[in-house]
């Protein structure tokens, strides 16, 4: 199994790059926002969310996701506008094969300081009872700098930074790594951090949460910011928050080919619970769709470079048990998952639309 091969080392101190062996290929998977609304919390088993897609996560070397909720077991589960979830909700994601979580997003400080502390305690507890995983983007001690999480996979040292453009609840910047691309001083500081981290790892992934909601065209300032991150040394930029998909871009560079994902969409939420296939609301429908990006990265003596990126369109759907789960759009469109003729036609149309969008937007 790839879990043994990956041999994730939970290393948080940075030393020089350690990769000095024959060329290897890392298989990375990226998904969008893991959210939770009331309908998600009512599920009998959170494992069902992932059952139709977990094979993609368990068959790779690392899977990355954005966890858009504090994890405070002392408070009840809650959805919008102030999110909170349980360790059991996160455990299902870990058990499905997700290895790396971005914790920096606009809802990260919904529970205030105590929500931050409880989230860190909850994740530490899960590591003690589950398999290894990493997270980045929040800190419990404001006197400590934000540092990338670091892991060694197949001898390749992988670093991961997670950042958010803003917070819904003010005052959380001491605990959540906030960088707005409109603030040049903060951006300059971040770029220095990226350069420093890149000098100490073989592959650097930066996660950024921001931009306008429900817009499928990335803001020009965001595009420029992401390219600056690549120029500073990040090889992969992974982004989310708009709740709809935006395209991805493979970028040739002097130090190797990089990758930008502008928005991955909602991986799981309750936003399309009331969707009607006979009269779909296109803006609402788009909030239930995402893509899983399967990425190959070649690492050798000359460094790491992205070789290939393959999108797999996925969607949230209301299962026969009346629960929101995730499936490949193809499985719903071709009847592999049978929800009836109306839903089959609906998902066939949405798959064609998604494939066309990704082909058009990808550069």
Averaged pLDDT for residues 166-174: 97
CATH of the domain at 105: 3.60.21.10
Q: Give the predicted TM-score (pTM) of the model.
A: 0.94
How far is the first Cα of the chain from the last one, in angstroms, to the nearest whole number?
34
Question: Are residues 176 and 141 in contact, defined by beta-carbon separation less than 8 angstroms?
Answer: no
Averaged pLDDT for residues 9-14: 42
The predicted pLDDT at position 363 comes to 54
Question: Is residue 300 predicted with pLDDT exceeding 50?
Answer: yes
* Helix (H) or strand (E) segment spanning residue 266: strand 266-268
Question: Which residue spans within 39-187 are E strands per DSSP?
Answer: 62-67, 100-102, 134-136, 149-153, 156-164
Averaged pLDDT for residues 85-95: 98
Question: Are residues 313 and 358 in contact, defined by beta-carbon separation less than 8 angstroms?
Answer: yes
The predicted pLDDT at position 124 comes to 97
Q: Give the percent of the chain with pLDDT over 90.
A: 88
Q: Look at the chain and report how many structural domains it folds into.
A: 1
The predicted pLDDT at position 34 comes to 98
Question: Is residue 184 predicted with pLDDT exceeding 60?
Answer: yes
The predicted pLDDT at position 21 comes to 61
> Helix, strand, coil: what percent of the chain each, to 5?
30, 30, 40
- The sign of the dihedral angle between the CA atoms of 203, 207, 212, 216 is positive
* pLDDT band, very low/low/confident/very high, at 103 (cuts 50, 70, 90): very high
Question: Is residue 8 predicted with pLDDT exceeding 90?
Answer: no
Its domain, for residue 101, covers 2-361
Neighbours of 113 (CB within 10 A): 14
Question: Are residues 269 and 244 in contact, defined by beta-carbon separation less than 8 angstroms?
Answer: no
CA 34 to each of CA 61, 275, 276, 325: distance values in angstroms, whole numbers, following the listed order: 20, 19, 23, 11
The pair of structure tokens assigned to 104 is 């920096």
Averaged pLDDT for residues 207-215: 97
Mean pLDDT of the chain: 93
The predicted pLDDT at position 22 comes to 80
Q: 3-state DSSP call for residue 81?
A: coil
220-232 helix and 184-198 helix, angle to the nearest 10 degrees: 30
CA 167 to each of CA 164, 171, 252: distance values in angstroms, whole numbers, following the listed order: 7, 8, 33
Question: Is residue 308 predicted with pLDDT exceeding 60?
Answer: yes
The predicted pLDDT at position 165 comes to 98
Q: What is the DSSP letter of 145?
A: P
Which residue, chain included where needed, has tokens 């858009």? 68
The predicted pLDDT at position 354 comes to 95
Least confident of 27-31, 256-260, 264-268: 256-260
* pLDDT band, very low/low/confident/very high, at 253 (cuts 50, 70, 90): confident
Residues paired with residue 305 on neighbouring β-strands, in sequence order: 298
């Amino acid at each position: 199994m790839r879990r043994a091969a990956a041999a994730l080392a939970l290393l948080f101190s940075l030393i020089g790059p350690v990769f000095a062996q024959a060329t290897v290929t890392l298989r990375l998977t990226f998904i969008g926002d893991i959210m939770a609304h009331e309908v998600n919390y009512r599920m009998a088993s959170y494992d069902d969310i992932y059952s139709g897609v977990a094979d993609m996560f368990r068959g790779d070397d690392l899977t990355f996701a954005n966890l858009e909720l504090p994890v405070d077991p002392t408070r009840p589960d809650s959805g919008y506008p102030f999110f909170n979830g349980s360790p059991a909700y996160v455990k299902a994601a870990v058990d499905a094969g997700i290895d790396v979580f971005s914790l920096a997003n606009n809802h990260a400080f919904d529970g205030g300081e105590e929500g931050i502390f409880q989230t860190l305690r909850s994740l530490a507890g899960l590591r003690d009872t589950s398999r290894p995983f990493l997270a980045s983007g929040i800190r419990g001690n404001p006197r400590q700098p934000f540092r990338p999480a670091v892991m060694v996979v197949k001898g390749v040292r992988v670093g991961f930074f997670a950042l958010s453009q803003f917070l819904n609840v003010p005052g959380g910047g001491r605990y959540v790594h906030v960088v707005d691309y409109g603030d040049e001083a903060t951006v300059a500081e971040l770029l220095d951090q990226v350069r420093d981290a890149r000098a100490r790892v073989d592959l650097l992934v930066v996660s950024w949460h921001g931009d306008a909601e429900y817009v499928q065209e990335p803001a020009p300032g965001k595009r420029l910011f992401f390219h600056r991150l690549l120029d500073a040394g990040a090889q992969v930029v992974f982004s989310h928050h708009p709740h709809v998909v935006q395209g991805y871009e493979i970028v040739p560079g002097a130090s190797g080919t990089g990758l930008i994902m502008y928005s991955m969409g909602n991986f799981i939420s309750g936003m399309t619970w009331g969707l009607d296939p006979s009269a779909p609301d296109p803006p609402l429908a788009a909030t239930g769709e995402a893509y899983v990006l399967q990425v190959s990265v070649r690492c050798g003596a000359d460094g790491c470079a992205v070789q290939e990126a393959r999108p797999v369109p996925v969607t949230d759907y209301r299962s026969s048990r009346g629960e929101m789960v995730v499936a490949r759009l193809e499985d719903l469109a071709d009847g592999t998952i049978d929800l009836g003729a109306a839903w089959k036609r609906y998902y066939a149309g949405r798959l064609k639309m998604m494939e066309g969008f990704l082909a058009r937007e990808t550069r």
